[in-house]
Structure 1
Amino acid sequence: MADLNSLLDDLAAESAELEALVAPLPPEQWARPTPAAGWTIAHQIGHLTWTDEVATLAATDARTGSTDFTELLTEAAPRIATFVDDAAALAAGAPVPELLQRWQDGRAVLAEALRAVPADAKVAWFGPPMRPGSMATARLMETWAHGQDVADALGIRREPTDRLRAVAHIGVRTRDFAYAVRELPPPADEFRVELTAPSGAQWSWGPADAAQRISGSALDFCLLVTQRRHPDDLALQATGKQAMEWLTIAQAFAGPPGTGREAGVFS
């Protein structure tokens, strides 16, 4: 993957693209429902804002040795099932200008916090700990995915960019995680994933001679692993029983198994 600064540049660009969608909206439009059940556009931005702030907390811990993020997880344990939704709802309740400013400020603070983490240190998270570059990749993935929810709510088709490579990468890397959160044994062998980028470039992961294979557009693969589209609505090709199974459970984001989207909603 790209170095940290390049990933942070891509994260900033992805955030700016989403901001361009929401900033001109009148406050009442921030209450528009999105495809995520119970979440408005304000919830989507509130979630990104809160998650960026929590990621900053974790990154600061990795640099200083403090335990603020661990303490946050411990405090949240009794209500972990609703923890993320509650935080999004709380943030969404703020006046729109205040929420927008908080999101803008938090993004800048997070970038500096990740740059300050030693390259060989790991940042604690809701899933496995990760290097600063992987955390930037995860934030890029979430920003793109929640941006898709906003675009869908507004009836806008976004033009895909090669920033999707980071989203696809984390989608491939989280294959075994998708099995683990469902208490299923992961496949023993690596899969081959071959994707066509928005620019026309060819991206690939895994052994060239792997028996289990996924191919198609990078956009469709990213919509799959972020569960923004049902597998039946995507033009991905799977070779092998295990690869076909993975298409039904792929999940690039931390937390319990996602519920995805119904088939045919966006066709």
Structure 2
Amino acid sequence: MTVDPLDAWAAETGRLVEALRDVPEPDWARPSPCPPWTAAALLGHVVAGVVRVPGMLDAPAPERAEIDAAGYFRADERFSGGTDAERIDSGRRAAAEAGGPELVRRLATAREDAIGRCRREPPGRVVRTRHGDAMLLTDFLVTRVLEAGIHGLDLADALGREPWLTPPAARLLVGLYGGAALGWAPLALLRVATGRAEPTPQQAADLQRHGVRRLTLGR
């Protein structure tokens, strides 16, 4: 069954908001699995990514798409030390200025705005990412589903919550990694494929045998 990336992004970000609404203020200072960020700083990074989407839609559309969702996660300057330092600082500033509960409220507002804007775009809309890639909006949204999925997992781990992955996001991300033939639980695949869990020797062999994609990730 084909999954609409926008529906998957809406589902995953909506679940993220609901999971974080009742987190007590002190818990936001917990370390995240993405050091040196705290849970609040990691959420600040997530919010920044959502807020950026309407600005992309306001910009002129490139003539044609040049990169797909998997190609977006390639090893170049977007994952360099300097770019990563900017991400770290941005997340820390957001946490210091707003705090976790306020960032949850900002995420709720930002996702509604971004999703509404995306739904009004015509089929075949091409956008330019902050890294300069010309992509179909649908392909770019696949990258946003991965961002929401992996950082939702990170926040669940940091805050001691039960991890989740909504069914639309799970189907989309298993497809992105080419992992359907493995038959693994989507959360297990996501943890191993993103380096959040070490594969067992058997799992490593399965990944190689089935040609599961290796995507370059920053934070």
TM range (shorter): 0.7 to 0.9
Q: Secondary structure at the match of 1:194?
A: helix
Q: Secondary structure at the match of 1:36?
A: coil
- How much does 1:20 deviate? 2.6
Distance 2:198 2:208 in 1: 18
1:80 matched residue in structure 2: 83
CA contact 1:10–1:140 (8 Å) conserved in 2:
yes
- How much does 1:142 deviate? 0.7
Report the residue type matching 1:19 in the other structure.
V
Report the residue type matching 1:226 in the other structure.
T
Percent identity of the aligned residues? 25
Distance 1:107 1:148 in 2: 18
**RCO greater where, 1 or 2, for CA within 8 Å and sep 6 or more?**
2
Give the gaps of 5 or more residues in structure 2.
Answer: 64-79
Q: 1:218 to 1:21 in 2, by over 3 A?
A: closer
> Please, which moves more after superposition, 43-52 or 148-157?
148-157
CA contact 1:60–1:117 (8 Å) conserved in 2:
no
Relative to total residues, which structure has the larger helix share, 1 or 2? 2
TM-score between the two structures when normalised by the length of structure 2: 0.75
1:1-267 alignment, distance < 5 Å: 2=2, 6-62=4-60, 79-93=82-96, 94-125=98-129, 126=131, 128-163=133-168, 164-172=170-178, 194-196=181-183, 216-232=184-200, 235=203, 237-240=206-209, 243=211, 250-251=214-215, 253=217, 255=218
Q: How many correspondences in the alignment?
A: 199
Give the gaps of 5 or more residues in structure 1.
Answer: 66-76, 173-191, 197-215, 259-267
CA contact 2:51–2:110 (8 Å) conserved in 1:
yes
Q: Secondary structure at the match of 2:128?
A: coil
Distance 2:118 2:5 in 1: 11
